[in-house]
A and B are shown apart, each in its own frame.
Chain A
């Protein structure tokens, strides 16, 4: 190699440019979604959004689900794969209506001791969960609810715990005129809050438990009627082969994969009336095409 090469034709330069995609890391960091080292990952201080320049919202709450205490908190009421089936059956029996729909009510929650007492106390000081739930209200009249979000919990064989959560506030709605909005057959985009179990309990009182089973080729219940503003704790499990559940909001969907022998828990609070398609996301056989349910919020 000659020594008077221009720098663009040197190996070192070409080699370094090859790592260019790592520049994406900066974007992730800017959104608080880069695990290390820019964001505080996984510990109780996990609020990578706080005070971030890109983030116009100060009042979003941060769930700090990495706090091991939270796992303890609902450890007491943990739905295990062993108990799921029985509790799902109880749930169906108790809340099924004459028209086939299922309307879970508060009794379900009261039935079990959640040990919710521990929840607020275990949250790190300075995290305002209530504000998180309030965020949608602060949005100028658009139909997006919003919310705190955190990974749903998964309990495999009684093991419960959370990883780091990256709470993110809803941005002001720049999409009011979005094509999909008006075109949606259902009432579009009813707001929903997804939150950690502890945060939901704190904001809305004890969540109502919902048991959703996914089996070839239907969800049970497949016509769920929920109330606006109530916190629901979804326990979900596949009953035969792997399935998935995606809640469609017209502009995107939220997907969880469901396995047999693994209970996935997700807290949801719908903030507006509407009807949502829930569909299976994992190929489970010929009937996969069409495996769906609906959640109607009134």
Chain B
């Protein structure tokens, strides 16, 4: 029975072996392969950070670029940070968690090696195209590349290689988890199941990516007609693309919770499995809201999209509750002070990985508050293409997902390669610096968006025709961006330094703490913190929504029903 996942339902429920212990026992080749992916993913992260800083400073008016250069930087930022960093990091975490399920390590190892080769080629192609050819932004709309088909081909090719690499690694992860199950008791752990769902979702997105980019590539190399449906295919792909990292984040939270606190879910493995599977149920049907501004979208679709959109948060919120309540119960069982929130102080905040995860949880809640303003179809005409969008989604992209993945790396690297985390005190503080910067960036960015400042526009003065308040708001955005960007740069440096320590010193994972048994943990104990947080979240979401409605009413044009028609 593997026990990387925490599950009271399973036979040997007392053995809560920390993920690091299982990883340390993997074959050398698997440990190295995983570290290669960790290192590989840091390349686009570092690039994305650099380009992001340049973009944010340009938007704040602190740096000036020719428009072409500015859009090149934005293309590079989106491509590096979103596509390559978030997806390469997922491969690293996914193969680690899959391998950890099986004592012999990865099955179908050649697929993983092939994935590495394909992904390196794709990364090089994407970055090279974005550096040298017409900047098309990360969605590489072929309409904009009619004069430069090579740019369309390069971007599409990069995205397709990414999809192929992800598919190869996902198949390997699936085979590994299935083999692990066969060899052992026949049951699958919650984590094993989660990896299956995640890898499956990655493959589905790979198919969506082929739908979106293969026609573009064929056209660009003269083998096909002009892709007429590029925009729609992109929407479908993109929707999946930004929930996948959230699902990966939640699975990583499960593993990090066990690793840093020895806590397993107090709700049982089968419940966790339902939660993981629910991503596949709730995410794909909710994609409609991205199209609220499209002319020609029927009202029925618009209504359905608005209704469904609320469900998209369900899996993430349940996972949040499972983790927070399990932590509360186990911390109380170990003698945390009484009182509603006293237990929080007992959590291992000095652990860099735990601090990263804690910040990620907070950032997720912050992001959710604003995400649902955008999702409301009535507000789409006010804020859809404004800075509101990057203003709030960096809470997810950076504060939640990137911080979680980096926290995961800080566990992975020492476990797989030995060595210690570089300056753990500093590394435990940096996530808070990121969160602070994000709060400034997000506050100014959301305000700017509500006042109409467009996204993807560098000179918002418009020859003096724009409201002067815009420039000041964007300066605030740039200051917040500079703060979280710098904190992230230091974090990446710390991860690289940790990686450089690999090989020095032996692999010496800590022994598993005796995890409290279910009887200790769950009895009459209460767990109110998670539910209260959800209540606060819902109140805050409503507040944001009411604020947006009031703003809408106060406008000279009251943009109700606002969309581009039928």
In contact, A288 and B456 (Cβ under 8 angstroms) = yes
B11 within 8 A of A: no
In contact, A183 and B554 (Cβ under 8 angstroms) = no
In contact, B307 and A251 (Cβ under 8 angstroms) = no
B459 within 8 A of A: yes
A104 within 8 A of B: no
Q: Give which listed residue, B452, B459, B465, contacts A185 with CB less than 8 A.
A: B465
On chain B, the residues within 8 Å of A36 by CB distance are 303, 307
In contact, A165 and B537 (Cβ under 8 angstroms) = no
A120 within 8 A of B: no
B341 within 8 A of A: no
On chain A, the residues within 8 Å of B296 by CB distance are 154, 156, 259, 262
Mark the stretch among B64-72, B152-160, B207-215, B344-352 that contacts chain A: B64-72
Decide if the interface of chain A is mainly helix, strand, loop or mixed. Answer: loop
Contact string against A for B residues 239-268, beta-carbon threshold 8 Å, 1 for contact and 0 otherwise: 000000000000000000000000000111
In contact, A162 and B553 (Cβ under 8 angstroms) = no
Per the bound structure, the CA–CA distance linking A99 and B564 in Å amounts to 32
In contact, A9 and B527 (Cβ under 8 angstroms) = yes
B338 within 8 A of A: no
Per the bound structure, the CA–CA distance linking A160 and B382 in Å amounts to 23
Contact string against A for B residues 539-566, beta-carbon threshold 8 Å, 1 for contact and 0 otherwise: 0011001100111111111111111111
In contact, A249 and B557 (Cβ under 8 angstroms) = yes
Closest to B139 in A: A283
Per the bound structure, the CA–CA distance linking A169 and B550 in Å amounts to 11
Per the bound structure, the CA–CA distance linking A253 and B469 in Å amounts to 14
In contact, A290 and B545 (Cβ under 8 angstroms) = no
A93 within 8 A of B: no
Tell me which residues from 227 to 277 in chain A have a Cβ below 8 Å from any Cβ of chain B: 241-242, 244, 246-259, 262, 264-265, 268, 271, 275, 277
Are A20 and B299 also in contact (CB < 8 A) when A154-B564, A180-B467 are? no
Are A23 and B542 also in contact (CB < 8 A) when A17-B531, A18-B321, A35-B306 are? yes
B518 within 8 A of A: yes
Are A20 and B382 also in contact (CB < 8 A) when A252-B450, A286-B135 are? no
A207 within 8 A of B: no
On chain B, the residues within 8 Å of A288 by CB distance are 67, 71, 456-457
Mark the stretch among A83-91, A110-118, A145-153, A198-206 that contacts chain B: A145-153
A163 within 8 A of B: yes
In contact, B325 and A184 (Cβ under 8 angstroms) = no
A190 within 8 A of B: yes
Per the bound structure, the CA–CA distance linking A71 and B296 in Å amounts to 14
In contact, B552 and A256 (Cβ under 8 angstroms) = no
Q: Give which listed residue, A21, A26, A289, contacts B67 with CB less than 8 A.
A: A289
In contact, A183 and B469 (Cβ under 8 angstroms) = yes
Q: Give which listed residue, B317, B541, B553, contacts A170 with CB less than 8 A.
A: B553
Which of A11, A23, A24, A173 has most B Cβ within 10 Å? A24
In contact, A186 and B465 (Cβ under 8 angstroms) = yes
Per the bound structure, the CA–CA distance linking A254 and B456 in Å amounts to 17
Contact string against B for A residues 22-39, beta-carbon threshold 8 Å, 1 for contact and 0 otherwise: 111111100101111000
A191 within 8 A of B: yes
On chain A, the residues within 8 Å of B231 by CB distance are 242
A211 within 8 A of B: no
On chain A, the residues within 8 Å of B135 by CB distance are 286
Closest to A287 in B: B67
Q: Give which listed residue, A163, A186, A289, contacts B458 with CB less than 8 A.
A: A289
On chain A, the residues within 8 Å of B541 by CB distance are 21, 23-24, 27
B378 within 8 A of A: yes
CB distance from A5 to the nearest CB of B (A): 5
Per the bound structure, the CA–CA distance linking A264 and B296 in Å amounts to 9
A215 within 8 A of B: no
Contact string against A for B residues 272-312, beta-carbon threshold 8 Å, 1 for contact and 0 otherwise: 00000000000000000000011110110011001100110
In contact, A248 and B452 (Cβ under 8 angstroms) = yes
B121 within 8 A of A: no
B137 within 8 A of A: yes
Tell me which residues from 109 to 155 in chain A have a Cβ below 8 Å from any Cβ of chain B: 143-154
In contact, A249 and B452 (Cβ under 8 angstroms) = yes
B150 within 8 A of A: no
Tell me which residues from 446 to 460 in chain B have a Cβ below 8 Å from any Cβ of chain A: 450-452, 454, 456-459
Per the bound structure, the CA–CA distance linking A60 and B160 in Å amounts to 53
Per the bound structure, the CA–CA distance linking A156 and B467 in Å amounts to 34
Are A194 and B554 also in contact (CB < 8 A) when A14-B321, A24-B545, A154-B295 are? no
Closest to A275 in B: B465
CB distance from A43 to the nearest CB of B (A): 11
B322 within 8 A of A: yes
Closest to A150 in B: B561
In contact, A277 and B293 (Cβ under 8 angstroms) = no
A192 within 8 A of B: yes
In contact, A149 and B557 (Cβ under 8 angstroms) = yes
Tell me the A residues contacting B by CB distance below 8 Å: 1-2, 4-6, 8-9, 11, 13-15, 17-28, 31, 33-36, 41-42, 66, 143-154, 156, 159-171, 173-175, 179-180, 183-186, 189-194, 241-242, 244, 246-259, 262, 264-265, 268, 271, 275, 277, 279, 281-290, 292, 294
Q: What 11 new A-B contacts, CB under 8 Å, besides A33-B378, A165-B561, A254-B562? A: A14-B321, A19-B314, A144-B554, A146-B558, A171-B554, A175-B554, A246-B385, A246-B454, A254-B381, A254-B555, A255-B381
Tell me the B residues contacting A by CB distance below 8 Å: 8, 67-68, 70-71, 135, 137, 141, 143-144, 231, 266-268, 271, 293-296, 298-299, 302-303, 306-307, 310-311, 313-315, 317-318, 321-322, 325, 329, 368, 372, 376, 378, 380-386, 450-452, 454, 456-459, 462-469, 472, 518-519, 522-528, 530-531, 534-535, 537-538, 541-542, 545-546, 549-566
List 7 tightest A-B contacts by C-beta distance, closest first: A163-B299, A18-B318, A154-B565, A253-B452, A281-B385, A35-B303, A171-B553
A-B contact pairs, 13 of them (CB 8 A): A1-B522, A8-B526, A20-B317, A21-B537, A24-B310, A24-B545, A34-B306, A154-B566, A242-B231, A250-B469, A251-B551, A257-B295, A279-B454
